[in-house]
Amino acid sequence: EVQLVESGGALVQPGGSLRLSCAASGFTFSSRTMSWVRQAPGKGREWVSSITNRGGITTYADSVKGRFTISRDNAKNTLYLQMNSLKPEDTAVYYCARGNSYTQDYWGQGTQVTVSS
């Protein structure tokens, strides 16, 4: 059974930083592209970033480019998202997903990130 469990969400002030983690199990993590997607209140799900199976290629939405960094540790079956210079518009539930920017087939339960003073 595929499981994706996110953690690290919190309330943070504008300009602050957070690091999200996603523990993966139930599949061969090191062979799959992984992504982060987010859903803000009242909006649809938005793709944020993807990383190829060995981490060689990373891609970002324009809205987070230069502020967020995706990474992975295949030895620990864990995906990360380092978020810096956070803005109120980054407030959302963040989901770890198996797949690329166009197609994902499994998502975690999500972790809440709130950026507010």
Give the rounded distance of the alpha carbon of 43 from its chain centre. 17
The amino acid at residue 88 is P
Q: Using an 8 Å Cβ cutoff, are 97 and 106 in contact?
A: yes
User: Residue 69: its pLDDT value, please?
Assistant: 98
∠ CA 111-89-92, nearest 5°, is 20
State the DSSP H helix or E strand holding residue 115, giving kind and residue range, or none if neither. strand 111-115
User: Residue 55: its pLDDT value, please?
Assistant: 87
User: Residue 17: its pLDDT value, please?
Assistant: 98
User: Residue 66: its pLDDT value, please?
Assistant: 97
- Please write the tens of the pLDDT for every residue from 32-57: 999 999 999 999 999 999 999 998 89
For the chain, which residues score pLDDT lower than 50?
Answer: none
Per-chain mean pLDDT for the chain: 97
